[in-house]
Amino acid sequence: MTAKLRLAVAGVGNNISALFQGAQLYAKLAAQGVPESEFPGIKRARIGGLGVSDIEFVAAFDLHPNKVGKPFAEAVLAEPNNYPRLEVDLPDPKFEVTAGLVEADADPESEAFRRIVTELRESDAEVLLYSLPTGLQWAADAYAKAALEAKVAFVNCTPEIVARSPEMLTAYESAGVPLVGDDLASHFGTSVVHRALLGLIAERGLTLASSYQLNFGGNEDFRNLRDHGASKRDSKINALAQDNISPDKIEVIPSAGYIGHLKDHKVAVLNIEGLGWAGTPISLDLKLQVQDSSNAAGVIIDLIRVAAASRRAELPGFPVAAVRVLKSPAGGHPSYTPDMVEEGFRKLEAADVATGR
Amino acid sequence: MTAKLRLAVAGVGNNISALFQGAQLYAKLAAQGVPESEFPGIKRARIGGLGVSDIEFVAAFDLHPNKVGKPFAEAVLAEPNNYPRLEVDLPDPKFEVTAGLVEADADPESEAFRRIVTELRESDAEVLLYSLPTGLQWAADAYAKAALEAKVAFVNCTPEIVARSPEMLTAYESAGVPLVGDDLASHFGTSVVHRALLGLIAERGLTLASSYQLNFGGNEDFRNLRDHGASKRDSKINALAQDNISPDKIEVIPSAGYIGHLKDHKVAVLNIEGLGWAGTPISLDLKLQVQDSSNAAGVIIDLIRVAAASRRAELPGFPVAAVRVLKSPAGGHPSYTPDMVEEGFRKLEAADVATGR
Amino acid sequence: MTAKLRLAVAGVGNNISALFQGAQLYAKLAAQGVPESEFPGIKRARIGGLGVSDIEFVAAFDLHPNKVGKPFAEAVLAEPNNYPRLEVDLPDPKFEVTAGLVEADADPESEAFRRIVTELRESDAEVLLYSLPTGLQWAADAYAKAALEAKVAFVNCTPEIVARSPEMLTAYESAGVPLVGDDLASHFGTSVVHRALLGLIAERGLTLASSYQLNFGGNEDFRNLRDHGASKRDSKINALAQDNISPDKIEVIPSAGYIGHLKDHKVAVLNIEGLGWAGTPISLDLKLQVQDSSNAAGVIIDLIRVAAASRRAELPGFPVAAVRVLKSPAGGHPSYTPDMVEEGFRKLEAADVATGR
Amino acid sequence: MTAKLRLAVAGVGNNISALFQGAQLYAKLAAQGVPESEFPGIKRARIGGLGVSDIEFVAAFDLHPNKVGKPFAEAVLAEPNNYPRLEVDLPDPKFEVTAGLVEADADPESEAFRRIVTELRESDAEVLLYSLPTGLQWAADAYAKAALEAKVAFVNCTPEIVARSPEMLTAYESAGVPLVGDDLASHFGTSVVHRALLGLIAERGLTLASSYQLNFGGNEDFRNLRDHGASKRDSKINALAQDNISPDKIEVIPSAGYIGHLKDHKVAVLNIEGLGWAGTPISLDLKLQVQDSSNAAGVIIDLIRVAAASRRAELPGFPVAAVRVLKSPAGGHPSYTPDMVEEGFRKLEAADVATGR
């Protein structure tokens, strides 16, 4: 039997609540006799032998007063987290959330940094999952260095540059530690839907007249992005551009508004106006509603299993198996063919081992 | 300079109105200096040297009293046709619509059949475009035989079996005449959008919970289909099924209603309910509005140019270049690779000749 | 304490499932300490002293093999009923559903008719709720006569003519029995929303260009109406017409399709196109989703309480208090002012008595 | 024949473009034989004898470099104005836009202020229409004082306090000049639709669970409001509250985003979640698209005709006829009954005179 994946987390937000509760929910389904091939919302039942419930949380770092010093099982449900409380009993991993790093602690010689390294080692963590709010490059760097020193695989969910940094990647490779990143591609995000529909317009030979996309919701992201969404807007628009689809006909509003009662639900509305034969119009309106943090957790579950399996198989550096669920993989998307990705998964299967120690 | 494509049509409905008016509209754009590479809604400016305005209507067959015996330019705008009147002056091709075949005339020895063959020959038609209402297999057969005898290329826009009939295909090949069919794939149809979105659900690893699609509009198709849509429903549902997308979770209503004031506009609403991580729901609602007959004409323009160019190049039988815009190409979609299709177009380019006689 | 309302039902469909389960749910909320003024979806906590949980089912008639001869508590959940199973324990009223009338039994001398009268009497029913499928005028007549003979108040949920029949109304008045009908106005139906929006268009001085409404769902109504919706269409369109809103610009499709997986959910899409200043367009698209049978039960709860309270207060004939939740009240809507309706309710309050026997 | 309404405008934005072009469009319709009772988007063909085309622009004040010093007919179409260019020939009123007031000119003794008064007098203006961007209380005050001094009726389209100021109203009454304000109620705005639907929820006895409304568009308003919408949000939410509809369940985003390619189109999406019988959900999603400035002009046309007719009839102060198309009429909505409003219109009809001098 495969040993559970020992997971440490930097940031105890909604994504971690989704991951923690969801893993238990799948365990409950399994206990009810549902075969794992029929688990809802799961693309790969096993990666390197690890199922979606095979996670043991062993350490957690955060700065919010509702979380620091609290038992993990309590902190993960504390406000401002507002992921729904799933109908499942939750375990109590019997450890407390400890204080995360502040910018002044970024130096590896700082007391706080030393404590993080020690906790990672003493908890026998296999993977450190980094999911702090977007924009803290110094924090991504510091946690990546701490994980490297503790020889714990690192997963970067955010757009900060970690796996794309040649120096960092080389350091992980030299140390024999896996490094997964950067920036998770949502399970079913607005961008992937919008891009697919714009692609259809171009492929079928219609002309794009205009398009817009607005996103809104009730978690902290939408509050933050409302005022600081300019760079996210540009990167989202660029991600939609493709052959015959010019970015100057597209507008994206990353946060059209913070609407508290939506809680962790995200809503997107998008419109595409096109021209067909004789310039006659086609018009497409779409509304998409998702559970925002499930959209992240459904991908995180693959990233951390790839990271842990790579570590167990002693495959250091960037694991190709992670490419499809990252927005900015080390090396860039064009470097990887579908065959390479499949080969990446096969290596992890071959490496299936019974323990993560 | 390439000679115009000499086109005969069986059925003078909205699709022909869209084709006739649209070709003129593009001529007007060209006269205004718009380069053909910027024509809205056009995927290929030239096929076998033929531009989208290079069409000359030379013969037309229909049964409706508002059309038979009327000048083509008048018949094509007569009720129940309700394609919008585009803002462009229309030419007057100076021929009259003549009576189409009824089922009793299907025999090649019948007087009516002989007249059709004669008209096709005397009008120097290069292509006969078959676009009668769906469901008249005898009519598709009869017109295909008439075109064959007159050595005119045949294009079948409908689901009737013509190019998929091995006997018919062989007969065309032996006679040195091109045969294009069956069933045009709409320029931007509900099915292609629905299929793409269901495919995304599966590809991303979410679970389909349920989906529906309803179509409605104000042209004759929606009146007919309201009561006779059962077989169309089944074929549409089957066309949506794919890996991990089970047809029994999908419902399609080909005609949810005839709504006269929509005229030739088609509206579709579709919904997809999926399950993501931890079984939490995702929900997608889409409304699509198109000009129904432009959606056909935008594809017919390619089918007839492929047919004419093949005839000019003396390439008999089924032209591979037509594969991408047909629902049921001769031989079936799996028989053709992208490379084969590109090669099909190259052959037509190479064959670019100045005359269609 | 007010005695429970003793209810007999003709037809054990989704509406009765909604009523039976819902009444228990509110009892559960009350037991949890929720004050009845805060019950969700309830306009009047008490009518004639009766609360929304004060219902005791005492007799039921149906023809479906899954229901006849079965204990009521089982029959009410049996297919094709597909109202959701609410999270509440259900009581077992300890009586069986008996065979309803067929057309051949419509004569008051028939054995079946005599049995119905006897059951109504022996069960001490106060109210007979008639909710068979639309279109069975003979059945509405027969059950109304049986209730009259048994001196049980009658509630007609359907468009059949019962309370609008002067003969029937006079007979009830003479016998001292209340008669409530005809045709319940849904709690939050598409028509009421559509009518309100069209009214706004007119009131604000815009011009209606066109409008459509499509309804679809997964219960038996949508299967039946798909093919037999013509008369319903006409009455729905007429109900939307008002000053400056011409019915010939409106199309309504009562059943755009039966979509099984929607079960008892009803979905409506509606569109309004208008013209404002300088003829520039306004466009409104709306999607409405409801639990179809809750939409009926939320109004039935008022109709049966009005009926029972009127009977207890010995107020025969048509009770004015029912006017607002009926589509076609006896006498017609214009006969009643808001003051008359309020006075109707006051009479019932005054008549609040402790027993229904 | 009634003399034309001589109109001066403070602010030459999209609203003025809509008014100027639209008035001509209706004149064109009349010339084509369309009776004024069939003009699209017009509630009252005549007010005080004035038709919707009976407007003569005589003076205009603005600060934008594209407008000051330009002939009115040119300035009204200049950027950033982006109201569509209607298909109608426009007259050339042969006057130039002159410089509007800046805050330093607010003193009635300032040279600029004196010039405004002189222009109002020399142009024989009957009405000064104030439609500068929201938020400039000093400007509203200054223009109102200038109009008062010139004895020109004043119409305030904005939320600034003018007609609600007892001092200002008394001054107008004493001087015998009409004063119309404050804040126009859009012809068909999101608020009126949202309020009507929430009202239906309450009236039918359902429980509001939550609701949101987002607005977006491509004119300057949406750029400004994106960052400064907080006070507008609060006033809009308060305007939606009513019996049984609590504002704390409603969120409104006045500008969800500036989307340039929408130009003067405004799009609103709104959602209402309610609870019906047994707490089962109802869900309503709506998308509304309007021509933003037509939505204003369709109401301005009534406000200015009421103002001019009142002046001609020598009825000073606030004219009751304007109540229905103002958000904050002098005295407040509750002060006026429908009968009083009708009487207000009758007075203007009675006063119908042939000249505005």
Collect all residues of chain D within an 8 Å Cβ-Cβ radius of residue C196: 196-197, 200
pLDDT at site D245: 85
Confidence tier at A304 by pLDDT (50, 70, 90): very high
Query: Is the N-terminal amide bond of C93 cis, ω within 30° of 0?
Result: no
Between residues A356 and A81, the one the model is more confident about: A81
Collect all residues of chain D within an 8 Å Cβ-Cβ radius of residue C281: 289, 291
The residues pairing with D6 across neighbouring beta strands, listed in sequence order, are: D56
Collect all residues of chain C within an 8 Å Cβ-Cβ radius of residue B253: 216, 256-257, 259
The fraction of chain D above a pLDDT of 70, given in percent, is: 97
Q: Say if the Cβ atoms of B277 and A285 lie within 8 Å.
A: no
Mean pLDDT of A269-283: 96
Q: What is the pLDDT of residues A116-126, one digit of tens each?
A: 999 999 999 99
Q: What is the pLDDT of residues B132-170, one digit of tens each?
A: 988 899 999 999 999 999 999 999 999 999 999 999 999
- Which residues, in sequence order, are CB contacts of B303 under 8 Å at separation 6+? B129, B155, B157, B180, B184, B322, B325, B326
Mean pLDDT of B32-50: 95
pLDDT at site C333: 87
Asked whether residue D356 carries a pLDDT value surpassing 70, the answer given is no
DSSP annotation of C126:
S
Confidence tier at A356 by pLDDT (50, 70, 90): very low
Chains that touch A (3 or more CB pairs under 8 A): B, D
What is the rounded CA–CA span in Å between residue A59 and residue A10? Answer: 9
Q: Say if the Cβ atoms of A206 and B200 lie within 8 Å.
A: no
Q: Say if the Cβ atoms of A210 and D251 lie within 8 Å.
A: no
Of B210, B214, B261, the CB nearest to C256: B214
Confidence tier at B334 by pLDDT (50, 70, 90): confident
pLDDT at site A350: 77
Identify the CA nearest to D90 among candidates D28, D39, D34, D40.
Answer: D28
CB of B248 within 8 Å of any CB in chain C?
no
What is the rounded CA–CA span in Å between residue C50 and residue C44? Answer: 10
Mean pLDDT of C59-78: 97
Cite the DSSP H helix spans in chain D: 14-31, 72-75, 111-122, 137-150, 166-175, 190-203, 220-228, 230-240, 292-312, 338-350
Asked whether residue C356 carries a pLDDT value surpassing 70, the answer given is no
CB of D253 within 8 Å of any CB in chain A?
yes
CB of B287 within 8 Å of any CB in chain C?
yes
Mean pLDDT of D255-266: 93
CB of C249 within 8 Å of any CB in chain B?
yes
Mean pLDDT of C321-328: 93
- Which residues, in sequence order, are CB contacts of A24 under 8 Å at separation 6+? A53, A86, A88, A89, A90, A91
Of D25, D204, D283, the CB nearest to C278: D25
Is D63 in contact with D100 (CB distance < 8 Å)?
yes
Would you say the CATH fold of C190-291 matches that of C5-185+294-350? Answer: no
Collect all residues of chain C within an 8 Å Cβ-Cβ radius of residue B257: 212, 214, 251, 253, 256
What is the rounded CA–CA span in Å between residue D1 and residue A152? Answer: 90
Q: How far is D58 from chain C (nearest CA, A)?
A: 21
Q: Say if the Cβ atoms of D261 and A216 lie within 8 Å.
A: no
Nearest CA in chain C to B257: C256
Is B130 in contact with B143 (CB distance < 8 Å)?
yes
CB of A172 within 8 Å of any CB in chain D?
no
Q: What is the DSSP string of C172-215?
A: HHHHT-BEE-S-BPPTT-HHHHHHHHHHHHHHHT-EEEEEEEEE
Q: How far is B167 from chain C (nearest CA, A)?
A: 40
Of C251, C261, C262, the CB nearest to B259: C251
CATH code 3.30.360.10 for D190-291: yes
The pair of structure tokens assigned to C136 is: 């069975």
Q: In what order do the strands lie in the sheet with A98-99?
A: A98-99, A55-62, A5-10, A127-130, A153-156, A179-180
- Give ∠ CA D162-D167-D171 in degrees, rounded to 5: 90
Mean pLDDT of A188-214: 93
CB of C284 within 8 Å of any CB in chain B?
no
Q: How far is A291 from chain B (nearest CA, A)?
A: 7
- Residue the block writes with tokens 């004043």: D154
pLDDT at site A351: 66
What is the rounded CA–CA span in Å between residue B290 and residue B215? Answer: 11
The fraction of chain A above a pLDDT of 90, given in percent, is: 83
Collect all residues of chain D within an 8 Å Cβ-Cβ radius of residue C301: 277
Nearest CA in chain B to A29: B278
Q: What is the pLDDT of residues C241-300, one digit of tens each?
A: 888 888 888 999 989 999 999 999 999 999 999 999 999 999 999 999 999 999 999 999
Between residues B171 and B332, the one the model is more confident about: B171
Which of 21-80 (C) contact D at CB < 8 A? 21-22, 25-26, 40-44
Asked whether residue B355 carries a pLDDT value surpassing 80, the answer given is no
Mean pLDDT of D245-260: 90
CB of C281 within 8 Å of any CB in chain B?
no
pLDDT at site B1: 64
Cite the DSSP H helix spans in A33-165: 72-75, 111-122, 137-150
Is B296 in contact with B157 (CB distance < 8 Å)?
yes
Give the DSSP H/E element, type plus range, for residue B297. helix B292-312
Round to the nearest angstrom and report the end-to-end CA distance of chain A. 14
Q: DSSP 3-state assignment of A11?
A: coil
Q: What is the pLDDT of residues D74-96, one digit of tens each?
A: 999 999 999 999 999 999 999 99
Asked whether residue A236 carries a pLDDT value surpassing 90, the answer given is no
CB of D295 within 8 Å of any CB in chain C?
yes
- Give ∠ CA B71-B77-B79 in degrees, rounded to 5: 110
Nearest CA in chain B to C256: B256
pLDDT at site B351: 66
Q: How far is D299 from chain C (nearest CA, A)?
A: 9
CB of C246 within 8 Å of any CB in chain D?
no
Chains that touch B (3 or more CB pairs under 8 A): A, C
User: How far is C-alpha C49 from the geometric centre of its chain's CA atoms?
Assistant: 21
Indicate the pairing of strand A207-217 with strand A250-258.
Answer: parallel
pLDDT at site C235: 78
Identify the CA nearest to C186 among candidates C76, C101, C297, C267.
Answer: C297
Q: DSSP 3-state assignment of C349?
A: helix
Please state the domain extents for chain A: 5-185+294-350, 190-291
pLDDT at site B207: 94
Q: Say if the Cβ atoms of B207 and A40 lie within 8 Å.
A: yes
pLDDT at site C351: 66
Mean pLDDT of B255-269: 94
Nearest CA in chain D to C28: D278
pLDDT at site B105: 93
Identify the CA nearest to D211 among candidates D254, D188, D240.
Answer: D240
Which of 208-237 (C) contact B at CB < 8 A? 210, 212, 214, 216
Asked whether residue D343 carries a pLDDT value surpassing 90, the answer given is yes
Identity (one letter) of the amino acid at C85? R
Q: Say if the Cβ atoms of B212 and C269 lie within 8 Å.
A: no
Collect all residues of chain D within an 8 Å Cβ-Cβ radius of residue C268: none
Q: Say if the Cβ atoms of C201 and D207 lie within 8 Å.
A: no
The residues pairing with C6 across neighbouring beta strands, listed in sequence order, are: C56
Regarding the domain delimited by A5-185+294-350, which CATH topology (the fold level of the hierarchy) does it fall under?
A: Rossmann fold (3.40.50)
Asked whether residue D351 carries a pLDDT value surpassing 90, the answer given is no
What is the rounded CA–CA span in Å between residue D267 and residue D290? Answer: 7
Confidence tier at C1 by pLDDT (50, 70, 90): low
Of D253, D262, D267, the CB nearest to A257: D253
* A-B Cβ pairs (cutoff 8 Å, strict): 169
Asked whether residue C176 carries a pLDDT value surpassing 70, the answer given is yes
Collect all residues of chain C within an 8 Å Cβ-Cβ radius of residue B267: 271
pLDDT at site B356: 45
Of C249, C256, C262, the CB nearest to B257: C256
Of C215, C227, C251, which to mutate for an interface test with B (greatest number of B Cβ within 10 Å)?
C251
Identify the CA nearest to C26 among candidates C72, C88, C84.
Answer: C88
